[in-house]
Structure formats: structure tokens, C-alpha cells
């Protein structure tokens, strides 16, 4: 019974991510078809359509695609921040013993693809793309695992999720340190002061959602104007959200029992509408539930579906549309390097570092998982779609030749990794 209630939230998470992966795949196909159809011009013009508010120095006008990549994706990174904080405090990364195996896998999955890309790359102009093959797309990879059905144990999905979250943390740090430039330090200081206010409130266990929303927007805007990529603001804001409840479980049960008894007594008259007393009791239940919720877990729960079913598919729709033309100029070596770094880099990095952790007895193989399944998941980690495309846009800024070439390399590398990884898990992963 305990296992059932413990695993249900994670199983729900897997279902959301799996369906999100299918939506991502569909959005990618639609984007490619649209960009290469007779309506291809409308695809490009839509995402370049400028939207903004204000005027002069106080205005903010951007093409639609940047509102998606800088704005909507900040919400995506905010959710990543919530997931990272939860995993560090109460999840699969909250003890050294549980965290060692996925952390080793994630480190290998970041370092080896990065090194392989730099070894293969011989063009100084494309060397800034080293961060592209570091990422793993958790939605796509979990969707593939789910398609394999019962042949994949739940412990393998937990392992993939844990090291993908560490992987995301690594990608966030890479973006913050290496893909932000021209920093306005005064604006950054202002934003950090506002963050300090939210952190101090969180430390005291205080959380005011409207204040957090207002200051969060100001912090995002200051990051945007300061030169630090604004999605980093999303991650930092997530760490200001307290995980502690205002009331504990015994008090919640006691109060809920008292309110339920009061409602039961007043319901004997079988009236069709609520009495004034009953309305007050219902309000008390709502207040009680709000106090019982962990702000972090509640926000994560509310945002997960929005990110999975809307933000990520919209990002894919706006960014995956590569127009293939006869006079199209692409960088073949960049395509090949990224594809190889994603497929071979993740295979070697995740599997070697995982087995190294086992060999050094720093970690134990999770129950129900065999070595072939580790190799299969290592290959599957080469599906780097969302974060890889995001980093490609930052790495090559407005160089459309390199951006399109990087996207093609990501699509090819992810496709090969997904297919080969699925085949390994299907036919070699059984005990």
C-alpha cells in the first residue's frame, strides 16, 4: 500500500511527460511540413512578427519567437528549478547514496559529448556549439520508454528522470556562465537584491504568490536587460519558493475532521442550498487546504501540464521548422559532429560513468535494472531535442546557417538515439 501511494505521483509525472513527448514530435512534424510547404513564408513571418509594449527606453518589443524563447521558456526553466529543488530536498537526490548513481551518469552524459564535439570540430566559428550535445530531452526519452510498455521497469524510468534533472542543472549553469554576455552589472545587482528579498521570505517560511509573481516579472525583465539570459531568472526564482507547509499532517487531519463533523451535523436538514454556517465551513476547508499545500509542490503540479502540453510544443513549433531548399547553405561537418556527439557521446558518457560508479562501489545498481538497460538508456539520453535547440539558438545567435545546421544535427542525432535506444531496451534489456 505504501509503495502504491509513493509511486503514484511519479507515475502521473511519467504519463504527462510521455504525452508531452508525443506532442513535441507532432509539433516538430507540423513545423517541418509548414516550413517546407507553399505556406513556408507565413511560417517565417509569423515568428518574426514583432510584439511589444511601452515606448522609448521603457518599451519592450521583440519578435514572437523571442517572446517564446525568452518568455515562455522562462516558465519552463522555472519548472526545472522547482523539480531540481524538490529532488535535492525530498526526491531521488536528497541523499548521497541515492544521488551518486544518477549524478555520475549525468556528469558522463555532459562531459563526453562536450569533449567529443570539440575533438571532432575543426571550425573555430562553430566551436561555441559545444554545449548543444550535453542535454537530454526528458519528455521525448520518457515517451519512448513508455511506448516499450511493461518491458521497462519503473526503476529505470526513475533513474532516467533523476539523471536528466541533474543534466538540466548542468545545462542551466552552462547557459548562465557561457552563453550570457555584455552584462550590465548594475541591473544584475538590482535583480539580485529583489531575489534576496524573496529568499529571506522563503527562509522564514513565508510565501505570497502575487508578490512573487510581481517581483518575478521585474527580476525577469532586469535579467533580460542586464545581458544574463532571462531563463536563468526562472531557475533562481524557483529556489525562492518554500517547500514547507504552513501546517503539519496531524493538525490538518484534526481540523478537517472537526469541519467535516460540523458539516455533517448541519446537513441533517437536507436543505437544497448551503446555510451561512456551511459556507463558512467550506471557506475554512479551502483555507486549510491552501495552508496544507507545499507551495513548491503545488506550483510544480499546476505548471507541469501547462509546460508539457503548451509551452514545449509551442517552442518546438516555433523552432523546428527548417526550410529545405535547393540553394540552402548548410554546414555538413557541424551536422555530423552534433549527431555523433549526441549518439556516441551520450552512449559512452552515461554508460561508462555509470559502470565506473558501480565498479568503485560508490553506488548500487537500482533494483530491477540490468547492464543492457543502462546502455539502452544511455543511448536514449542522446535525444536532446528541446534544450539542445535552445542552446543552439544561444550559441550561434543570428547565424542562420549554423542554427539550421545545428537543428538538423540535433534532429538526426536524436532520431538515431531514440530508435537505437528503443531497440536495445526492447530486445536486449530483458532479464
pLDDT for residue 282: 74
pLDDT for residue 340: 97
The neighbour count for residue 317, using CB atoms within 10 Å, is: 22
pLDDT for residue 354: 93
Domain ranges of the chain: 2-66+95-180+312-427, 249-289
Model confidence, pTM: 0.80
pLDDT for residue 3: 45
pLDDT for residue 99: 82
pLDDT for residue 106: 92
pLDDT for residue 248: 64
Write the pLDDT tens digit of every residue in 351-401.
999 999 999 888 888 878 888 999 999 999 999 888 899 999 989 987 889
CA-based R_g, the chain, Å: 24
**What does the pLDDT profile of the chain (431 residues) look like in tens digits?**
334 444 445 566 666 666 777 888 899 999 999 999 988 899 989 998 988 876 656 667 888 988 998 889 899 889 888 888 888 887 777 777 778 888 999 999 999 999 999 999 999 999 999 999 998 888 888 888 877 877 788 788 888 888 888 888 888 888 888 887 778 889 889 999 999 999 999 888 788 889 999 999 999 999 988 888 888 898 899 999 988 766 666 766 777 777 777 766 666 555 666 667 777 777 777 766 766 677 888 888 888 889 888 998 999 999 988 888 877 889 999 999 999 999 999 999 999 999 999 998 888 888 788 889 999 999 999 998 888 999 999 899 878 899 999 999 999 999 999 999 999 988 875 65
**CATH top-level class of 2-66+95-180+312-427:** mainly alpha
pLDDT for residue 286: 72
Amino acid at each position: 500500500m505504501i509503495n502504491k501511494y509513493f509511486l503514484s505521483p511519479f507515475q502521473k509525472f511519467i504519463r504527462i511527460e510521455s504525452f508531452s513527448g508525443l506532442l513535441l514530435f507532432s509539433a516538430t512534424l507540423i513545423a517541418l511540413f509548414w516550413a517546407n510547404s507553399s505556406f513556408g513564408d507565413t511560417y517565417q513571418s509569423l515568428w518574426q512578427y514583432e510584439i511589444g509594449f511601452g515606448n522609448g527606453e521603457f518599451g519592450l518589443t521583440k519578435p514572437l519567437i523571442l517572446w517564446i524563447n525568452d518568455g515562455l521558456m522562462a516558465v519552463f526553466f522555472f519548472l526545472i528549478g522547482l523539480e531540481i529543488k524538490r529532488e535535492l530536498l525530498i526526491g531521488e537526490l536528497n541523499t548521497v547514496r541515492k544521488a551518486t548513481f544518477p549524478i555520475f551518469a549525468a556528469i558522463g552524459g555532459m562531459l563526453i559529448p562536450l569533449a567529443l564535439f570539440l575533438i571532432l570540430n575543426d571550425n573555430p566559428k562553430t566551436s561555441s556549439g559545444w554545449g548543444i550535445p550535453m542535454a537530454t530531452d526528458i519528455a521525448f526519452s520518457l515517451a519512448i520508454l513508455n511506448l516499450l510498455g511493461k518491458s521497462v521497469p519503473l526503476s529505470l524510468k526513475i533513474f532516467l528522470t533523476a539523471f536528466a534533472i541533474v543534466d538540466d542543472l548542468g545545462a542551466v549553469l552552462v547557459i548562465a556562465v557561457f552563453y550570457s554576455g555584455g552584462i550590465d552589472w548594475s541591473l544584475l545587482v538590482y535583480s539580485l537584491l529583489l531575489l534576496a528579498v524573496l529568499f529571506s521570505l522563503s527562509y522564514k517560511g513565508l510565501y505570497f504568490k502575487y508578490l512573487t509573481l510581481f517581483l518575478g516579472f521585474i527580476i525577469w525583465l532586469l535579467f533580460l536587460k542586464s545581458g544574463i539570459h532571462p531563463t536563468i531568472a526562472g531557475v533562481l526564482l524557483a529556489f525562492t519558493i518554500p517547500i514547507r507547509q504552513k501546517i503539519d499532517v496531524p493538525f490538518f487531519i484534526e481540523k478537517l475532521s472537526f469541519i467535516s463533523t460540523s458539516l455533517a451535523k448541519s446537513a441533517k436538514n437536507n436543505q437544497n442550498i448551503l446555510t451561512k454556517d456551511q459556507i463558512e465551513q467550506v471557506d475554512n476547508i479551502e483555507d486549510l487546504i491552501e495552508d496544507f499545500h507545499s507551495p513548491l509542490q503545488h506550483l510544480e503540479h499546476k505548471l507541469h501540464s501547462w509546460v508539457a502540453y503548451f509551452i514545449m510544443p509551442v517552442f518546438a513549433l516555433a523552432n523546428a521548422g527548417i526550410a529545405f531548399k535547393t540553394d540552402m547553405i548548410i554546414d555538413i561537418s557541424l551536422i555530423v559532429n552534433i549527431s555523433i556527439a549526441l549518439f556516441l557521446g551520450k552512449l559512452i558518457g552515461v554508460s561508462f560513468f555509470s559502470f565506473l560508479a558501480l565498479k568503485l562501489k560508490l553506488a548500487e545498481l537500482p533494483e530491477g535494472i540490468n547492464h543492457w538497460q543502462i546502455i539502452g538508456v544511455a543511448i536514449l539520453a542522446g535525444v536532446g531535442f528541446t534544450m539542445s535547440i535552445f542552446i543552439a539558438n544561444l550559441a550561434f545567435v543570428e547565424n542562420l546557417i549554423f542554427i539550421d545546421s545545428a537543428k538538423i544535427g540535433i534532429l538526426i542525432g536524436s532520431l538515431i538515439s531514440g530508435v537505437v535506444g528503443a531497440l536495445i531496451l526492447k530486445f536486449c534489456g530483458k532479464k
